[in-house]
Structure 1
């Protein structure tokens, strides 16, 4: 914002330069949502062995905050786009003999700005696709406006925005090229939950997949539950209303926050309800000592004896707290007690946004390394 305000006051940047800055922000925002880019970050930072100093491992564990680059750069891109619209309007109105933004460039720029301001969850994908198409038009128009005596093709090939936009488009298209319909085996756990089994892939613990019953409608992310030495994985779906025989998957299995678990020597996992799903692979793997705190109403009635027995078989000292019988506990106090008893190095929380943020803040403020999803988009 300091750079933005400085340019706003001093001027000196033309529409083409501001277009590059805008696109650079959107470039990072989009790449931070690309499966393979996310996995690459996690693989690099999580390769650190538990023998390394705790301060380094603790810092590396915050790799999942790369999602903040998505929301941060997207917001920054919109701010810079607003300045671009103002500068392009000024150039189009004033004209002159030197290169300047044309009226079509101004129209396209304002159209993109309106779309980005209007994006919300239900239309996120469609507005985003439309914006990318318009950005292509904007880049071509801006390049044409400032190309002087060069040919348009030569100017495009030698411009950074063209290549950034090419990579951006490829990163968006790639997961859809991996779109496929896969068979699924359904196990009804209760009236409130089902467990879906897949065999097309065996993800690493800490992964999630994107599933949908219709490829152009709602997509939902589910943590994978891979059983060690067995092919495939399963997911737990709460409040499921039907049991499909096949389902759509998009992209590759992608890492989430619990990919950081192997960075620590001993850890406490806190799960509420179906948050047990992403915790289960690490518990079953038994790669490091784990103490589990699982709170949920009617655990066995909701998730079935088989799943609960699997969890307790691998983690016999787990604390399973039935909130239907005992009410909601003081989660910060309870987690703190388990952390101290277990002599753990860190805590990972998988719950709803409100409780996750409360626990992470409550523990971190007491000097305990605590990690949980950050809901960054």
Structure 2
């Protein structure tokens, strides 16, 4: 493999350095599956291949010389490499790394605390006002945990940890992208509290104790909406019917928020002290301010809804690269794009090049919307909110990182390779990378990481990514692995590394 001394320094790679290096650097190639959403590299148009027949570093050779026969790459003989035994017992490691992921553990903590309070409230026969306040507090947490600025703040704080900190601390901080477990835990808990509130409110109404009919009507309606949202948010339902999930979540959520406003006003009126005005009662109540912040949190991204100019660059019949200049992004960012902003949105990782304004993203064929986007070559698209951080943002927490991408998963990985904020090695597996994604991308990646391993699945077949990843972890002496691939392969590689004591991070498909 490549010696450590051949690594680029930890400074950011200037775009002029990248471009200047292109003519003298060879192209590589290597393989398997493709990530549904993906971006690309610096914004030069596809050029001619710079492949040459001579090897570059170590065993790495060029991918453009099909007439020279099979390549010999750093993966040669990797299938014969023995994998170390998995740590811990079978049941324990499966429970820890698969059944009880950090996302589910966060869900469990939030849910368990709520249920403990729930039991106490039932034993003490808390009144409807108390139950309603706790329900709204849970919805407040659930909504804020999906707010772009809050998510970015979590990532910013977690990634402040220096690389000198113990690995076990940085490994935990690196899972900051699992905070969605707090969102789902609070949302489900809030719904249960609302059911208890409605039951208690019905009881109090029958005893003519504060609660009025409008309050109950709003409560029952909100429960029906929330149950529908939870059903469609179940992971399997969300994957199979994602567009339906998104529509239900959006429109039922908006309706529920409007009804929560009505519920809060009528509930406060039901408990209003005689002689006190409704306005004074509302302004002095915590639920009013919680709902106000919740509503503002939902509205804020839509205040930044706009149609922006986009330059389309068709790379192949599989993908198109979209160039934007309305804002700048950083490694780890993703943006939401749409042609019909009220019905569907699609998230794509951004590719930023140090010193170059704007960003690009690659749309790969993965369904009706992406296929239409490739065929139509859009000139304007809708965007909303601000660029938001994703899993690859955690890369600088570690001293030496192996970045693994398959197919168009190179999109989120590419800007991290360019930025070089820590010592990196790239493993990219894709079918015919040059033909599919263009010479500019391949050349720029090799310029930023001369030791990059790009495995062409069309030439070499689909690899055993767990074994290949482990070989590169061992040879590069990587402290952690970050992978962007499809869901099954991501889970397989992450588990394969984590179960052997190697920190590994990949998307969790929780939105």
After superposition, the C-alpha distances for 1:320-372 in whole angstroms (9 at most, x for unaligned) are 22333333322222211111111111111112222222222221111111111
> 1 CA distance for matches of 2:406 and 2:364?
12
Could you say which residue in structure 1 is the equivalent of 2:144?
31
The answer as to whether partners of 1:265 and 1:288 remain within 8 angstroms in 2 is yes
Secondary structure, counterpart of 1:211 in structure 2? strand
From 127, 130, 150, the counterpart of 1:17: 130
Deviates more, 1:188-197 or 1:300-309: 300-309
Could you say which residue in structure 2 is the equivalent of 1:50?
163
Q: May I ask how many residue pairs the two structures share in their alignment?
A: 374
From 212, 218, 222, the counterpart of 1:102: 212
> 1 CA distance for matches of 2:502 and 2:337?
35
Q: CA deviation at 1:4?
A: 5.2
> 1 CA distance for matches of 2:118 and 2:149?
35
After superposition, the C-alpha distances for 1:169-198 in whole angstroms (9 at most, x for unaligned) are 111111111111111111101001000001
Secondary structure, counterpart of 2:385 in structure 1? strand
> 2 CA distance for matches of 1:83 and 1:309?
61
After superposition, the C-alpha distances for 1:96-151 in whole angstroms (9 at most, x for unaligned) are 4xxx3221111111111111111231321111111100110111111111113232
> 1 CA distance for matches of 2:420 and 2:208?
69
Could you say which residue in structure 1 is the equivalent of 2:185?
72
> 1 CA distance for matches of 2:268 and 2:161?
44
Secondary structure, counterpart of 2:470 in structure 1? helix
Deviates more, 1:304-313 or 1:320-329: 320-329
Q: Which has the higher contact order (CA 8 A, sep 6+)?
A: 2
The answer as to whether partners of 2:426 and 2:452 remain within 8 angstroms in 1 is yes
Matches within 5 A, 1:195-214: 195-214=321-340
> 1 CA distance for matches of 2:508 and 2:395?
16
From 480, 485, 495, the counterpart of 1:361: 495
The answer as to whether partners of 2:118 and 2:193 remain within 8 angstroms in 1 is no
Q: Which runs of 5+ in 2 are unaligned?
A: 1-111, 233-244
Could you say which residue in structure 2 is the equivalent of 1:278?
412
Q: Which runs of 5+ in 1 are unaligned?
A: none
Deviates more, 1:12-21 or 1:163-172: 12-21
TM-score with structure 1 setting the length: 0.95
For the pair 1:140 / 2:140, whether they are aligned, the reply is no
Could you say which residue in structure 1 is the equivalent of 2:237?
none
The answer as to whether partners of 1:262 and 1:287 remain within 8 angstroms in 2 is yes
Matches within 5 A, 1:149-164: 149=274, 150-164=276-290
After superposition, the C-alpha distances for 1:10-29 in whole angstroms (9 at most, x for unaligned) are 14211111111111111111
- By percentage of residues, which structure has more strand? 1
For the pair 1:342 / 2:452, whether they are aligned, the reply is no
From 295, 304, 316, the counterpart of 1:169: 295
RMSD: 1.6
Secondary structure, counterpart of 1:218 in structure 2? coil
The answer as to whether partners of 1:71 and 1:376 remain within 8 angstroms in 2 is no
For the pair 1:234 / 2:360, whether they are aligned, the reply is yes
Deviates more, 1:114-123 or 1:261-270: 114-123
TM-score with structure 2 setting the length: 0.71
> 1 CA distance for matches of 2:134 and 2:316?
52
The answer as to whether partners of 1:70 and 1:376 remain within 8 angstroms in 2 is no
Secondary structure, counterpart of 1:195 in structure 2? strand
* Bigger CA radius of gyration: 2
Q: CA deviation at 1:54?
A: 2.4
Could you say which residue in structure 2 is the equivalent of 1:59?
172
Q: CA deviation at 1:315?
A: 1.9
The answer as to whether partners of 1:332 and 1:359 remain within 8 angstroms in 2 is yes
> 2 CA distance for matches of 1:114 and 1:255?
33
> 2 CA distance for matches of 1:110 and 1:90?
14
For the pair 1:112 / 2:222, whether they are aligned, the reply is yes
The answer as to whether partners of 1:297 and 1:324 remain within 8 angstroms in 2 is yes
